[in-house]
Structure 1
Amino acid sequence: MAEATVKKNAHPFDKSRLESLLNRRFFYAPAFEIYGGVAGLYDYGPPGSSLQANIIAEWRRHFIIEEGMLEVDTTIMTPSPVFETSGHVARFADWMVKDTKTGDVLRADHLVKGVLEGRLEGDREARGLAAIPMKEPEKKDKKKEKEKKKKGKGVELVQLTDVTRDEYEHVLAKLDDYTGPELGHLIKNNNIRNPDTDNEVTDPVQFNLMFASSIGPTGQHPGFLRPETAQGHFLNFSRLLEHNNSRIPFASACIGRSFRNEISPRAGLMRVREFTMAEIEHYVDPLDKSHPRFREVADIELGLLDRETQMGGKTDVGRISVGEAVRRGIIANETLGYFLVRIYLFLLKIGISPAKLRFRQHMSNEMAHYATDCWDAEIFNSYGWTECVGCADRAAYDLTVHSKRTGVPLVVRQQLKEVVEEERWVGVWDKKVLGKGLGREGAGVVRVLEEGGEEGLGRVKGELEAHGQTKVLVEGKEFVVTKDMLSVERKVFKQSVREYTPNVIEPSFGLGRILYALLEHSFWCREQDVDRGVLSLPPLVAPTKVLIVPLSSKEEFDPLVAEVSSKLRKAGIFSRVDDSNTSIGKRYARNDELGTPFGLTLDFASVQNRTMTLRERDTTAQLIGDIDEVISVVTELVQGTMEWADACSKLPVYDGTQAVD
C-alpha cells in the first residue's frame, strides 16, 4: 500500500513501539543476551531471518541474474599480507576519544555530530520552531528528560546566535571531511563533552577496525576477519576473466559476512560488529567507462547531494537526471551512474520510501584511499541520514597493488585489430659495468628506474647528458648511476596485443542497515489500535506471504486447510496456518505485526460452497471467491503481476453474509 494511504489512518510514528514489536516478535535480539550480551552483535529470529533472506533473493534477481554477474563465495579469514597490500592495515581506521574520568570510548565524529545536532534541536525548540526536518516525533517521558538534563544529556533549550547556528550547520554538512586533528580542534573549541557524563574527552586517536587473528596452531600466520568481501574478488580476477572468456566488461558478486570492530556500536543494526554484505565488482576498460544499458536509465532522476554543496556548508539535495549528472561531470562516468540508478530501483522495489532516500557524494578527505569517485545511498531513519550502500570507482588500485606484491599479472590482454607502433624511451644497461660499480645493489637500482616509466627515463637521460651521472634512491639509500652504466634511447615497439589493468566500479550493500530502515519505513499503528503495530512490507520481501485462518478447529476444516496449504506451496508461496482459539481479529492483528500482506479465511461456507475470503493487510478490505480463483489471485498478488485494485475488479467484496453457521 502507498505510504500516504498508511499515514492518513496512522497514529504518529513511535520508535519505542517499533522497538517493542521487533523485540517481542523476535525479528532480532542482542546476541548472548542471557550472558549479558556484547555490544554490536545481534541474532536474527524467524521473521528477521526470512526478511533478510527475501531481501537477498531479490538482490540476486535484480543484480546477479538481470546483469549476468558471476557469483563467488570467498573466505572470511584472510592472511595479513592481503590487507597490508590493500592498505587496510594502515588506513582502515576511525578516530576515537576517551572520557577522561570513566575511560569510556566514543567515536569522535559521532560525538561531534550528536552534540551539535542536540544543540541545534534545543535552539529550534527554544525559538518555537519544528525539530530537525523529516524526524518524526517520539513520545517523551518528562521525568526521564529532567533526569537526562541533570546528567548533561537530552536537549538543552538554549537559543544560539545566528553566527553559532550557521557555524554548527556548516560543520555538520562537511563533518565527514574532517581529519582527526581537526575533529579534536572542533571538540575543544565547542566545549564538546561526553553527553553521558558531562566529562571532558581526550584528543582523537586512530583505531583500526579490523579483528586480528592468527592462522594455524602456532600462530605463525597472522590474519584478519575480513571487513569487506572485495579482496576475494580481486585475488580471483584472472580465474573470473578466464571464466568470462577473457571478455570485459563483466562483474563478480558476493554475499557474505564481514566484521568491523566498531568503537562504540550504539545504534542497533545501524552500527554492528558482524554483518552481511552484498558487493559487486564491475570491471571496465579504463579508456571506456560507458555502459551498454545506460540509455535505459539516463532519464531517471535521483536526489543528489554533491561534493561542492557540502563543502559550501549546505545539505540541499538537488534532483537531476542521471544522464545530465554524467554529462555535467557531477557523476564521474556512465557505469557509475548506471549502478546508482540500479541501486535506487532496488531500494524502492523492496519498500524503501523514495522521500527518505538520497545519494551523497564523498568529499576529498573522506574518500577511501582507493577511490576516484564515490557516492553513498543514504536512507533517513530515526538515527538520521545513514549510509546503507556505497558505490565507488576504485580505479585500478586493488588489482595493481596485488599484482605488484605477488608478481602475478592481473591484467586484460586484448588482441588489436591493427598493429600499433609506439615509440618510447628505454634504458640500455651495461651489465658488466653495473655489476662492477654497484654489485648486488644494481638490481634494485634497475627496478626503481624502470618503475619511473617514460617520464622518469626522460628525466634520467637529461641528467646523464648534462652531468654524466644521476642519483637513484632505493629504500632510503642513494646510489650514483653513471653514463657508462646506462644509456637512454628512443626505440619503436610494435604492439599487436594491448595489455591493461581494468578499473573497478563497486556497489557495496550493508544489508542489516537496509533491513532496519525498511522496518522503520514500513511501521505504523492504526488510530483505533495503537498497541498493535503494522508492518507494511511489500509482498516481495514479507517473511510470510499468506496467513491461512480456519474459523473453526473442527475436523471438517482439516481437508480444506491441507488443500489450500498444498496449492500455495506448489505455487511457491510461503504461508502459515493460525488455527488457535483466539478471535479472528486478534489472529490477523498479530500477523499484521509480522508484515503478512494477505490472509485467507476458511469459514463454514467454505466447507459447503468451496468459497474463501481474501484479506489485504493495510486496508483490511476483504474479497471472496471460489477457492481456486482466490488462490490464483493471491498468487499473482504475491508475485507482483497484479495490484490490489486489479484483485478488487476480479473478485467481489466480502460483506460478511456468506458465512453459514
Structure 2
Amino acid sequence: MSTNNTSNNAFNRTILEELLKKRFFYAPAFQAYGGVAGLYDYGPPGCALQANILDLWRRHFVLEEDMLEVDCTIITPSDVLKTSGHVEKFADWMVKDLKTGEIFRADHLVEAVLEARLEGDRQARASESDVIAAVTKDADGKSSEQDKKRKKKGKVQAVKLGDSVKAEYEEILAKIDNYTGPELGELMRKHEIKNPETGSDLTEPVEFNLMFESNIGPTGALKGYLRPETAQGQFLNFKKLLEFNNDKMPFASASIGRSFRNEISPRSGLLRVREFVMAEIEHFVDPLKKDHPRFNEVKDTKLRLLSQSIQAEGKTQPIELSIGDAIDQKIVDNKTLGYFLARIHLFLIKLGINPLRLRFRQHMPNEMAHYACDCWDAEIQSSYGWIECVGCADRSAYDLTVHSIRTKEKLVVRETLPTPQVYEKTILDINQKIFGPKLRQNAKIVEEYLTSLDEQQLESLKEDLEKGNGKTTVPGTNGEGYEVSTEFLTIKRQTFAEHVREYTPNVIEPSFGIGRILYSLIEHVYWMREGSEQRAVLSFPARVSPFKCLLVPLSHHPTFTDLIQDMTTRLRKLSIPIKIDDSSNSIGRRYSRNDELGTPFAITIDFQSVKEGTVTLRERDTTKQIREKAKAIFRFLLSSYLTAAFYNIDTILVILKDLVEENITWETVISRYPEFTQQELD
C-alpha cells in the first residue's frame, strides 16, 4: 500500500482535517451549541475504522494470547481510586494567565515556546532578509498549519540564538517529560516564558487532578469518578479471573472501553481528548519468573529505542536494537515486558503505521507513574510531533497489594511446591492473656502497630527490649507512646517448612489509546494523487479500511438492477463491507470520492457485465484493474474456497475475499490476470 511519501506535496494538516470532517470520519461534538473542547463524535467511516482497529487488536492480542476479556463499569467509587493512588496523584501541572485567566498545561506551554524560538533560530540562519515570508509560505503562498500553530502558541520570530542557548533549549525539550511542577516554574522564570498571545505573566504551576468527579445515588453520599483507565476493574476481579483460568499462572486479562480525563487544555484534535476508547491488557506474572514462553518468537524483532540514558544526555535519536539484545544489555528490564514491546510493534505495523515514524521511549524517573517500576511508550510521529499512543508498564505488584491491604482480601496466587521450602523467620508472639489487661483500651492500636512490623523492625525492637531490661516504648497507630515488655510479648527466630508458596503477582500492562492510534494511522496513510487535479487518498490496509469494496454501476439503466442486487447480496454474505455509489458523477469521480474514504477495491458493473457476466476489479493505490467472470454458481466452502483451485468459481468475488483478508496481494493478482485499461477517466 502507498503512504503519504508517495506524493511530492508537502503535508498539510488543515487540508487533511477538512477532508476528515467533510467525509464525516469525526466532528466536534455538540457543534450546534458551540462545541466543547476535547469531545468528538465519530461518523460512519470513523466508527468502522475504529471497530476494525479493535477487531485486529482482539485478534492480535486477545485471541492469539488466550487472554480473558472483561467489561467493567465506568463509574468507579472514590475509595477504589483513593486506594489506587489516582485521587492523590493523577494530575498534570497547569498555569493561568494573570490577566485573562486563560489556562495552559505547563509542560506543553514550555515545549511550544521553546520550539517556536528554535524555529525562529532556524529561520534566521536560513536567510537574513524576508525570512518569515520565505520559510512560512508553502507552494501555494499560504501559511502552513505547523507555522500557524507556532505563531499562535510561540510567536515565531526570526531571531538567531546563541549556540549555548540553543543547546540548552534542545536539552530541555529532550527532558520535558521529566520535570516536576516546581522545576517547570523555574524554567518559566529563567527563560521568561509568558502567555504567547498576550505576553502576560503566568501563575506558578499548580497540580490539577484529571478525573471527572460524580456522585452515586440520589443523596450524593457515595462519591465516585468516571474511570481514568480500565485497569482497576481488572485488578479487582483478579481472584475470579485466576479461578476461571484454573489457577494457572501466568495469564492475562483484557478490556476495551471508554475512559475519561479532564484535560487542562485539549487542543490537538483526537490526540488529546476528554473521553476516549482504551484497550488495556493486564498480564499477571510470577515476580520471580518474568520470562515469557513465547519470547523466542519475537527476540529478533528490531525496535527503535529511546532509553533513559539517551534522554539524560539531552538526545532524542533512538537506537535500533533487536528486543533480544535490548534484554541482554539490560535496557529493557525483563523478557515479558520485552515480549509485549515487540508484539505492540508488530500490531502497529500490521495496522499500517510507518515503522520509520515509530519509536519506544522509556519513561524518565520523575515521569514514571506512581505504580510503575519500568515503563515504555510507543510513540508515533505525526504533524503534532512524537505522540504517546501505547504505554507498556511493569506495574510490579502495586495494584493488587494496595487493594488487598485496603479490602483485607488476599489477592494472591498459591503454588504447591514439589518439595517443602524450609526457612527461618523472625516472628512476634503476643500473650493475649496479659497483653490485653495490661494495655486495656489501648491494646488494639498497639497490637496493630506491632503486627505491621517487618522482620528487620522486629529485630530492632528485640534489641531495644534487651537494652531496656525487657521494657521499651513503642508508638501505637495513633502516634502516641506505650510501654511494652517481654512479660507479654516474645520476639524469636522460628523455622518453617512451606509446602505452598503464596505470592502477589506482578503485572505487565500494555495500554492502547485507540483514538490516538486512529488519527496517527490516518496521517501515515494519507497522500495526494498527482494528475489533472490533486486528489486525496487514504491507503488503509484492507483489513482496517472502513469499507472494503465500492460497487459502481455504470449508470441508472434498469438492466443493471438485478445484477447489482445479486452482487450486493453475495458480497454481504461474504461479510465484505461495501458502499454502493450509483450517483450521476463520472466513474473517475466516484472512484476518487471513495479513495478519500480509503476503500481499497471497487467493482464496476457495465453493459458487458449484463451480457457476459464479467466485471472489473480496481485497486485503490495503483488504480490498476482486471476484468473477470463474476456471475457463476456460488457456494460457501469455508477456508478452502480461497485457494487457487477454486478461482474458476466467481473469480472476482474469490479474489476480492482473498484480498480483503490479506491472504494474497494485489501484485499477485496482477501477475495472474491481464490488466484491464478502461473506466478510470472522468
Using structure 1 for the length normalisation, give the TM-score.
0.95
Residues 185-238 of structure 1 show CA distances to partners (whole Å, capped at 9, x for unaligned) of 001110111122221111000000000000000001000000000000000000
- Conserved? CA contact 2:2–2:539, under 8 Å: no
Of 50, 53, 75, the match for 1:52: 50
Q: Shift of the alpha carbon at 1:471? A: 3.5
- Conserved? CA contact 2:120–2:157, under 8 Å: yes
- Conserved? CA contact 1:14–1:137, under 8 Å: no
The verdict on how the C-alpha distance between 1:399 and 1:552 changes in structure 2, with shifts beyond 3 A counting, is same
Of 662, 670, 673, the match for 1:648: 670
- Conserved? CA contact 2:395–2:509, under 8 Å: yes
Q: Shift of the alpha carbon at 1:41? A: 0.4
- Conserved? CA contact 1:152–1:197, under 8 Å: no
Q: Shift of the alpha carbon at 1:24? A: 0.6
Task: Name the SS for the 2:676 alignment partner.
Answer: coil
- Larger mean CA deviation between 491-500 and 426-435 belongs to 426-435
Residues 484-527 of structure 1 show CA distances to partners (whole Å, capped at 9, x for unaligned) of 23210111122111111000000000000000001111111122
- Structure-2 separation of matches of 1:165 and 1:644: 49
Q: Shift of the alpha carbon at 1:184? A: 0.3
- Structure-1 separation of matches of 2:352 and 2:391: 19
Show the counterpart of 2:635. none
**Cα RMSD for the two superposed structures:** 2.3
Give the letter for the 1:653 counterpart. E
- Conserved? CA contact 1:10–1:524, under 8 Å: no
The verdict on how the C-alpha distance between 1:258 and 1:127 changes in structure 2, with shifts beyond 3 A counting, is same
The verdict on how the C-alpha distance between 1:401 and 1:530 changes in structure 2, with shifts beyond 3 A counting, is farther
Give the letter for the 2:212 counterpart. F
Show the counterpart of 1:62. 60
Q: Shift of the alpha carbon at 1:11? A: 2.6
> Superposed, which structure 2 residues align to 1:118-129 within 5 Å?
118-128=116-126
> Superposed, which structure 2 residues align to 1:91-490 within 5 Å?
91-128=89-126, 141=142, 153-467=154-468, 468-473=470-475, 474-490=477-493
Show the counterpart of 1:526. 529
Give the letter for the 2:89 counterpart. R
Residues 567-624 of structure 1 show CA distances to partners (whole Å, capped at 9, x for unaligned) of 2212221111111111111101110000000011111111111111111111111111
- Conserved? CA contact 1:194–1:200, under 8 Å: yes
Give the letter for the 1:498 counterpart. R
- Structure-1 separation of matches of 2:77 and 2:424: 42
Using structure 2 for the length normalisation, give the TM-score.
0.93
- Structure-1 separation of matches of 2:264 and 2:28: 17
Over 4 Å off, 4+ runs: 135-140, 142-153
Show the counterpart of 1:563. 566
Show the counterpart of 2:614. 611
- Structure-2 separation of matches of 1:658 and 1:224: 55
- Conserved? CA contact 2:112–2:150, under 8 Å: no
Show the counterpart of 2:651. 629
Give the letter for the 2:613 counterpart. R
Q: Shift of the alpha carbon at 1:365? A: 0.4
- Structure-1 separation of matches of 2:141 and 2:383: 14
Give the letter for the 1:635 counterpart. K
Give the letter for the 1:57 counterpart. D
- Conserved? CA contact 2:253–2:281, under 8 Å: yes
Identity of aligned residues (%): 55
Show the counterpart of 2:5. 7
Residues 317-338 of structure 1 show CA distances to partners (whole Å, capped at 9, x for unaligned) of 0000101111111101000000
The verdict on how the C-alpha distance between 1:187 and 1:641 changes in structure 2, with shifts beyond 3 A counting, is same
For these two proteins, the number of residue pairs brought into alignment is 654
Show the counterpart of 2:544. 541
Give the letter for the 1:505 counterpart. I
Of 579, 582, 585, the match for 1:579: 582
The verdict on how the C-alpha distance between 1:292 and 1:145 changes in structure 2, with shifts beyond 3 A counting, is closer
The verdict on how the C-alpha distance between 1:55 and 1:136 changes in structure 2, with shifts beyond 3 A counting, is farther
- Structure-1 separation of matches of 2:153 and 2:21: 29
Q: Shift of the alpha carbon at 1:147? A: 10
- Structure-2 separation of matches of 1:528 and 1:193: 47
Show the counterpart of 2:642. none
The verdict on how the C-alpha distance between 1:80 and 1:9 changes in structure 2, with shifts beyond 3 A counting, is closer
- Structure-1 separation of matches of 2:570 and 2:74: 40
- Conserved? CA contact 1:537–1:597, under 8 Å: yes
Show the counterpart of 1:89. 87
Residues 437-491 of structure 1 show CA distances to partners (whole Å, capped at 9, x for unaligned) of 3223322322323322211111111111122334433243333322223210111
The verdict on how the C-alpha distance between 1:404 and 1:143 changes in structure 2, with shifts beyond 3 A counting, is closer
> Superposed, which structure 2 residues align to 1:503-522 within 5 Å?
503-522=506-525
Task: Name the SS for the 1:67 alignment partner.
Answer: coil
- Conserved? CA contact 1:17–1:533, under 8 Å: no
Give the letter for the 1:650 counterpart. R
Task: Name the SS for the 1:223 alignment partner.
Answer: strand
Residues 234-255 of structure 1 show CA distances to partners (whole Å, capped at 9, x for unaligned) of 0000000000001110000000
- Conserved? CA contact 1:13–1:138, under 8 Å: no
- Structure-2 separation of matches of 1:441 and 1:55: 60
Task: Name the SS for the 1:127 alignment partner.
Answer: helix
The verdict on how the C-alpha distance between 1:486 and 1:291 changes in structure 2, with shifts beyond 3 A counting, is same
Residues 56-96 of structure 1 show CA distances to partners (whole Å, capped at 9, x for unaligned) of 00000000000000000000000000001000000000000
Task: Name the SS for the 1:395 alignment partner.
Answer: coil
The verdict on how the C-alpha distance between 1:138 and 1:146 changes in structure 2, with shifts beyond 3 A counting, is same
- Structure-1 separation of matches of 2:317 and 2:210: 32
- Conserved? CA contact 2:146–2:383, under 8 Å: no
- Conserved? CA contact 1:14–1:138, under 8 Å: no
